[in-house]
Chains A and B, each alone.
Chain A
Amino acid sequence: MKLKNLSLIIITLLFSNFTKAGYQPFSNDVFAQVKKQNQGNNWLMVLWSVDCPACFEELALIQQLRQINKDMRIVIINADDDEEVAAERAKILTKYQLNDLTNMFFNEGQGAKNRYQIDPNWFGELPRSYFINDQGTFYGKSGLLKKKQITQWLGLN
């Protein structure tokens, strides 16, 4: 029992950065909460995968923009529905210093379902981004975003 408790403490400490910012499995409830938190604002939702080279460029671009814009309304979702990548995705988010953003990840084997919950018209191509306006309307775009598209939408420098 002691060993089990110790393991739990270690795991909690390891992932404390993520839990603070909301690093959690995707679900309809969590998605609804995130939408509520961003209600009335323009915000951006970015989906990425460890198997998508262009996604890394997008994460690097967000990292770069955050250095001069501290309050960016961006939500990051990892679209790998494979728990085998858990350590890798954590490492990548740390590398691009995105741990303090709201982060979600698709559930093991539930990629298609989670994708459908976000947008039944999205086929899994990546990177995938959603521009959400102050009325809560979603505009989806596939492929790497340009810096200007992000800054204009979020009203950044």
Chain B
Amino acid sequence: MSNQRDKLSRLIKTTRIMKWLLCFLSPSFIVFAEHNHQAMMKPVIDNSCEQINIACAKTVTSAFSPKGELWRLWSYKSHLYYEISIDEGKSFSSKQRVAIPAEKISSRNENRPKIAFDKFDGVYLSWATPKNKKYTADVRFSYSVDHGKTFTLPITVNNDNLLTGHSFNELLVKDNGEINIVWLDARHSYQLRKAGKKSNGSALYFAEANFRAGQYVFTNEKLVTGTCVCCRIAMDYNADGSLAILWRHIYGDNIREFALLTLKELTLKKSALKVESNQQESPYQISHDHWKINGCPHQGGGISIDENNIYHMVWFNQGDKGKGIFYASSKDQGKTLTKPLSVGQQSAQASHPHIHKNGAAVDIVWTEFNGIEHQLWHQRSKDHGKSFEAAKMLATAKDGADRPFIISYKNKSYVSWHKVKTEHWLAEL
């Protein structure tokens, strides 16, 4: 493993030297700077953004590997690209294309590719690929056993073989290589429509596999039906290692509220590849803001669970009983909640919250917009979410902004915010 780290370090050094040499040799220095702005002190903005450059991506996904390497992933014209940093984002290796055949990749707003790792240099990717018919897509998966040098041919995770919706996938991988994927799946509504019946919403599906353990086929388990169709899902492992999933659900007559389900450890029967589950019987309703909308909120929530098994959650609603971003925690897996705390300024368009715990610290980030610029805001609790310090503005962006996400390595947390057409911005919180 140290060999690979050394190789990566050499690659980054070589990349840096090449960049400087090219800077002096190239007559088109400005063009070079546009393509490689991460290496420069000041990003050069290219308004056309018809490039592979990460700045031109609509979304960026970043994550730390168990060894502390920071990977950032984006898509461009049916391919995935990544860069790696071994110095917490100060510098990155040259970009690499994920060596798999080209296919469309959903990468906009709530939909984006995902990356995760095991502790054996395994790299795991999942994304949604849209099909030709509107609102149809498949959840896809590819795995690298060798730190990204090669990737397996992508496979489809959803096993229904139907031309219908499967997207908004989320991916988590345990150190031992156990892969958990959840997504919004329209097979249930597809079948109802085919039978001439009405349906509302999608279904939440769960899949599990472990390529390291020889389980190459993803299980498919329906967890609930009646979910909102266009908000990202959030999930985290709790203190027992069980998966907790937070999503926007449809209650009653199009009341869109957040719901939470904790899966108990699932037993994968290798012989029959059947899943036995003993999960919580029905989801807990988390928000009670009464947002009635027959449409798309395009705003998912966030969840992060600490070592004391306290669930920390954030969400956004515009209901007649609650408007804006809210934070609440639960000591009993969502059965009861603390009183929701309002976060950010509703009048400043506070939205798209994300949350992450790190020891006693609970960090929340979100964006605001004042008519001219996007602002990235942060609020921290140092006492497990009991109280929060005053909110601070961290950064601004003028030419568009992606959703912010918090990632961590050991005791440090970082916010990852893609300023579209400008730069992928990362800072320690």
Residues of chain A whose beta carbon lies under 8 Å from any beta carbon of chain B: 49, 51-56, 81-82, 109-113, 116-117, 120, 123-128, 142-144
Contacts and interface: CB of A to CB of B under 8 A. Distances in A.
A51 B294 contact: no
A53 B254 CA distance: 14
B374 interface: yes
**Max chain A CB contacts within 10 Å: which of B108, B295, B297, B399?**
B295
A58 B381 CA distance: 43
Q: Which 7 A-B pairs have the closest CB atoms?
A: A109-B400, A143-B293, A144-B294, A143-B295, A143-B294, A54-B295, A52-B296
Contact of A123 (B230, B294, B299, B372): B299
B120 to A, nearest CB: 37
Contact of B349 (A53, A123, A127): A123
Interface of B: 58, 108-109, 134-135, 229-230, 254, 292-299, 316, 318, 347, 349, 351, 369, 371-372, 374, 399-401, 420-421
16 contacts: A49-B296, A51-B109, A52-B295, A53-B135, A54-B294, A55-B296, A56-B134, A82-B108, A112-B369, A113-B372, A116-B349, A123-B299, A124-B298, A125-B295, A143-B293, A143-B294
A126 B420 contact: no
A96 B204 CA distance: 31
B108 A120 contact: no
A84 B300 CA distance: 24
A32 to B, nearest CB: 16
Contacts of A125: 293, 295-299, 318
Contacts of A82: 58, 108
Contacts of B230: 51-53
A54 B296 CA distance: 7
Contacts of A54: 294-296
A123 B295 contact: no
Given A53-B296, A113-B372, 4 more contacts: A112-B369, A125-B295, A142-B293, A143-B294
B374 A112 contact: yes
Given A82-B58, A112-B401, A142 B318 contact: yes
B298 A116 contact: no
A50 B343 CA distance: 30
Contacts of B351: 123-124
A109 B347 CA distance: 22
Contacts of B400: 81, 109-112
A82 B420 CA distance: 11
A120 B371 contact: yes
A35 B371 CA distance: 20
B420 A109 contact: yes
B58 A116 contact: no
**Max chain A CB contacts within 10 Å: which of B296, B318, B420?**
B296
A145 B361 CA distance: 44
A88 B272 CA distance: 44
B198 to A, nearest CB: 12
B61 to A, nearest CB: 18
Contacts of A143: 254, 292-295
A53 B299 contact: no
A76 B108 CA distance: 22
